[in-house]
Amino acid sequence: MGSEDETKTGLKHWIPAFVLMVCVVLAFFDKISIAVLFSDPHFQSSMGIGEDKAKLGWLMTSFLLAYGFSSIFLSFLGDIFNPKKLLFWSVTSWGLLMLCMGFTEHYGGMLLLRILLGLAEGPLFALAYTIVKQTYTDRQQARASTMFLLGTPIGAFLGFPITAYVLANYDWHTTFFVMAVLTLIALIAIVVGLRNLELKKTRDLQRSGEIKQIDFQDHLKNTKVLLSNHAFWLICIFNIALMTYLWGLNSWVPSYLMQDKGFNLKEFGIYSSFPFMAMLIGEVVGAVFSDKMGRRAIQVSGGLLIAGIFMYVMVLMTDPVLIILSMSFSAMAWGFGVAAVFALLSRVTTADVGATAGGIFNGLGNFASAIAPVLIGYIVMQTSNFNLGITFLAAVAVVGSFFLIPLLKRY
């Protein structure tokens, strides 16, 4: 990036990052909305599965496994083809799949559609990472990455109540139709917000002199170099712990608070948004801090370490206010750390394999962490102790933070 790029700091310059955030919010809606239907008897009856929690669980797990697989093995397309066009057609496919789900009344069909949705959404973060890498300077990338990463807490903050409202006032079919309509908003944002953004497939970046021209064979060679990068693999392993925390927080902590900590549904409804608001604040503050200080590795590692510590503090607390406060500090620390994780990934990888690196990083993290909710549930069932399940989640975060120790001095 030249000096001209350094001066591009106005509001218009950040529109592409905002568009990516809209796409992530929509993807998170699609990802978690199915969980709201797990307790709906009409949905259970239509699927013909009653209250079989294993089959209900597979509707989420199958998505996550397909999502991880797709992110690892399909994201390389963003290095071969124009990432903006791939983003448009990817989001279009989400809408069509959500529309089909609204008409589906067979469990096998719903399971298949969830798998297809996972495959379609898998490359999203890699494409977003590639667009950010092409559009923003090194000192802007943490802020730009955080803008689309904000889609995760915003999606959690809005996705559940929106789906619950539609379900309460209409039916489970309509929840999918609403998600399909929301897809149109994301498509409009892509067309309008990215219309002046000149993104190219990687081999076309030769014109700007940023990287050499490549074809598929060259890409395979570049990928081999990436796969021999020890720093890259340390970040990928670290990301498994990072994502395990996120899925544990979304999957089990709500039940934990009500079943083990004595929260009633009304209390949980009042307090449940606090941790996600804290996570959002942490991401915003972390992005600004990261771009100013430039010490990505220590920020990312420290954020997950503190998140794990406060998660365990929550286990020890009995007062409702202190419990929510501990949980909020934990979520804020996670957000503060994750704000710099893609900028750190950018530091240790090269532009010619940007989408591939982002895909492996995101896919491996989601694929491996998909088992975490099941594992925590197994621990709780075998020990009849919910505290041990949440303690396991905290321990994964603390241990995972140590994997970045070799990178602290250099990055």
Please state, for a pLDDT cut of 70, what percent of the chain lies above it: 83
User: Distance between CA 148 and CA 165 in Å, rounded?
Assistant: 25
C-alpha pair distances (Å), 2 with each of 6, 12, 129, 135, 346: 7, 18, 20, 12, 17
- Radius of gyration over every alpha carbon of the chain, rounded to an integer in angstroms: 21
Q: Which of 350, 346, 401, 396 is nearest to 372 (CA)?
A: 396
Domains of the chain: 3-407 (1.20.1250.20)
Q: Which of 173, 320, 309 is nearest to 258 (CA)?
A: 320
Model confidence pLDDT, tens digit, residues 113-141: 999 999 999 888 778 878 887 788 777 77
For residue 214, is pLDDT > 70? no
The pair of structure tokens assigned to 137 is 């300077």
For residue 24, is pLDDT > 80? yes
Q: Quick count: other Cβ atoms within 10 Å of Cβ 360?
A: 26
Given pLDDT bands bounded at 50, 70 and 90, which one contains residue 361? confident
Contact, 242 vs 365, CB < 8 A? yes
Q: Which of 161, 118, 81 is nearest to 110 (CA)?
A: 118
Contact, 351 vs 83, CB < 8 A? no
The pair of structure tokens assigned to 227 is 């796969």
Q: Between 332 and 51, name the one with better pLDDT.
A: 332
Average pLDDT over residues 239-262: 79
